[in-house]
Amino acid sequence: MTVIDTGSVEDLLQGAPTTNARVLDFVASVAKLTTPDSVEWITGSAEQREALIAKAEAAGTIVRLAKQKDSYYAASDPDDVARVESRTFICSEKEEDAGPLNNWKAPAEMKETLNEVFTGSMRGRTMYVIPFVMGRADATHPMFGIEVTDSPYVVLSMDIMARSGSEALEAIDRLDADFVECVHSVGAPLEPGQQDVPWPCNPTKYITHFPEERSIWSYGSGYGGNALLGKKCYSLRIASAIARDEGWLAEHMLILKLTNPAGEVRYIAAAFPSACGKTNLAMIEPTIPGWKAETLGDDIAWMRFGEDGQLYAINPEFGLFGVAPGTGYDTNPTAMRAIEAGGNVFTNVALTDDGDVWWEGMTKEKPAHLTDWRGNDWTPESDTPAAHPNSRFCTPLANVPTIAPEWQNPDGVPISAILFGGRRKTTMPLVTETHDWNHGVFMGSTLSSETTAAAEGQVGVVRRDPMAMRPFIGYNVGDYLQHWINIGKTEGAKLPKIFYVNWFRRDEDNSFLWPGFSENSRVLKWVFERTAGTAEAVETPLGYAPAEGGLDLDGLDISQEQVSKALAIKPEEWAAELASIDEWYDELGSHVPAELRAEVGELRERLGVK
């Protein structure tokens, strides 16, 4: 073990901008283990950021884009392009507490492994200390973290994604606050004189969580949710465990504000699995005259009960980490305008010859020549995509032209409706409203979707993804579902209505039955009006559906037959679906709440399916 002596750790911590013993002990212990050449505290100052950018440019990690304001391009190692669920671990004391869906390792055993791989892992590099707060420091329950990392790319991205720097550290000190310890290393130490590569990483990866200690150790990857630890690791896996203990919800949801022509407002939250439309819906431009949509969040919502019994949601993040392919002026003009405002970091998109970025779906016409995400020449004749399917834009939320002023409310906005939805070619109707909270939790627990490129593995296979949280629940999924049921039993709760949507149903010829994107505003209008008690609905076995003529289709070129197909509940599809739900609950095992088992029985009866 190449552990440097305490004397040199003290040298490394010289000039630390805090005297907080808990902070210093944490940073010193990581420095002692990983033996970086130097330690740099992230303040968030412009000079510091410029210096970091210069360093990352010199290393070839990022390229400044001539055609954009203050924006950078990075290409990752081709083996480090998405979240690695197979290498993601929940290390609770008891295996049962990690549940049947998470990879589990006993904390002591995992710590032994981590001690080995992290020993000297930052040699030859700088260790950056990033104090951050998820949500706002002036919230009633502020939630802090400190990420130490040896990746300048992570520092630049965290600066966009989380409120970070001196203000967060000062708040931690002033409040003597707890913070989640987040340790990240790309796992690529440098020997003296060794030439670095543009995207250092390690073929061996560990994305590990200690929910009881509230700490995160991530090794070997530099990308996205594996490395920007405020995001999925903290705000979902660790926060879901905290939320269970404290009686609130940490969810994979967008937050949207809707205003009708009369000026009435509703806030809604929606959970769709990765790469299934959250960012798009969060930035929707309604096609119905007089309706307005504003953005609060596109990926994560934390919801706590307010004194009035309503669930109040905040977006703990400060930026967008959006799927690039498919984002264009025709699908998501709001995101395109946010990107135009500058301050972006793009990863694994394609580069134009004049110093701009491009990806599939950005423009109808493909550029004649590009450098693809792997650094190869690309032309429209190439048979591989120019941008990786999980390539991303990382952009400040403040850039979003439709950002709602309430996005800075320390304690959030009251939620009237929750939407669950996945990517299903068949079976699931365009929209239904569930009967009540437990029925809604049941529908959420059976949420299913065809897999996408946001995680490693095969794309297009139907898998169950409860509440779109399958890869992000920091404890036993059965206990998580019980927590949702319990939330519904909270004294004095004024609960949101729960809906289930599917934008992705296909016709026999495999075309989408519903136009989607901005036209989803028609479904949102129905949802809004259901919460106001003004929209007509008919009862179906799955819940309430829009009555004939209930969906506003004014000005939309779509046949009533096609809408009926999008809304259809087909008994033969549901026979198969129920069998698959039974299997799913068997897989989840003994922790599945009795309330949800009862819901399966009731649904079976309503459908008249054996």
C-alpha atoms less than 13 angstroms from C-alpha of 206 in its C-beta half-sphere: 23
Q: Residue 483: name the closest of 604, 303, 310, 313 by CA.
A: 303
Contact between 167 and 46 under an 8 Å Cβ cutoff? The reply is: no
231, 237, 266, 530: which one contacts ligand SPV (CB under 6 A)? Answer: 231
Q: Which of 299, 356, 433, 552 binds Mn ion (CB under 5 A)?
A: 299
User: Measured from the CB atom, is 512 or 584 closer to ligand GTP?
Assistant: 512
- Which residues form the interface with ligand GTP (CB under 6 A)? 272, 274-280, 298-299, 322-323, 325-326, 331, 454, 503-504, 512, 516-517, 520
Stretch that binds Mn ion, among 272-280, 361-369, 390-398, 457-465 (CB under 5 A): 272-280
**Is 61 a known ligand-binding residue?**
no
260 marked as binding residue: no
Residue 391 annotated in ligand binding: yes
Phi, psi of 523, deg, nearest 5: -70, -40
Residue whose beta carbon is closest to Mn ion: 299
Give the residue with the Cβ less far from Mn ion, 185 or 274.
274
- Both tokens of 35, joined, read 């033996």
Strands 206-210 and 215-219, by their bridges, are: antiparallel
Which residues in 273-292 contact ligand SPV (CB under 6 A)?
Answer: 274
Q: Is 209 in the site for ligand SPV (CB under 6 A)?
A: no
The distance from CA 258 to its chain's CA centroid, rounded to whole angstroms, is 22
From ligand SPV, Mn ion, ligand GTP, none, interface partner of 83 (C-beta below 5 to 8 A by class): ligand SPV
Per-position x/- string for 251-270, each x denoting binding to ligand SPV as judged by CB under 6 A, each - no binding = --------------------
Question: Is residue 276 flagged as an active site residue?
Answer: yes
**Do residues 415 and 303 lie in contact, with contact meaning Cβ atoms separated by under 8 Å?**
yes
Cα–Cα dist 7/9, whole Å: 5
Query: Which does residue 565 bind out of Mn ion, ligand GTP, ligand SPV, none, counting CB within 5 to 8 angstroms by kind?
Result: none
Evaluate whether 72 touches 65 at the Cβ level (below 8 Å): yes
Give yes or no for residue 396 binding ligand SPV (CB under 6 A).
no
Task: Return phi, psi of residue 79, to 5°.
Answer: -100, 15
Q: Is 454 in the site for ligand SPV (CB under 6 A)?
A: yes
- The answer to whether the CB of 428 falls within 8 A of the CB of 443 is no
User: Given the complex with ligand SPV, which of 34 and 274 has the nearer CB atom?
Assistant: 274
Q: Least CB distance from residue 287 to ligand SPV, whole Å?
A: 26
Q: Is residue 517 annotated as involved in ligand binding?
A: yes
Instruction: Name which position in 107, 165, 220, 225 contacts ligand SPV (CB under 6 A).
Output: 225
Q: Is 103 annotated as a binding residue?
A: no
Residue where the block lists tokens 């197909």? 565
399 is in an annotated binding site: no
Phi, psi of 194 (to 5 degrees): -70, 135
One DSSP character per residue, 449-467 reads EE--TTBSS-SS-EEE-GG
Question: Which residue in 388, 452, 366, 325 sits closest to 75, CA to CA?
Answer: 388
76 is a site residue for ligand SPV (CB under 6 A): no
| 29 assigned ligand-binding residue | no
Q: Which residue number, 325 or 343, has a Cβ lying nearer to ligand GTP?
A: 325
Q: Containing H/E element for 251?
A: strand 249-251
Q: CA–CA separation, 367 vs 359, rounded Å?
A: 10
Q: Which of 299, 552, 577, 599 binds ligand SPV (CB under 6 A)?
A: 299
In this structure, is the dihedral angle defined by the CA atoms of residues 459, 462, 467 and 470, taken in order, positive or negative? negative
Cβ-closest position to ligand SPV: 225
The residue behind tokens 């009731």 is: 602
Q: Are 444 and 61 in contact (CB under 8 A)?
A: no
C-alpha 484/C-alpha 501 separation (Å) is: 19
Q: Is 224 annotated as a binding residue?
A: yes
Total number of residues binding ligand SPV (CB under 6 A)? Answer: 9
* Site residues for ligand SPV per CB under 6 A: 83, 224-225, 231-232, 274, 299, 321, 454
Q: Which residues are catalytic?
A: 276
Mark the binding-site residues, compressed into ranges: 83, 223-225, 232, 252, 274-280, 299, 390-392, 423, 517-520
* Site residues for Mn ion per CB under 5 A: 274, 299
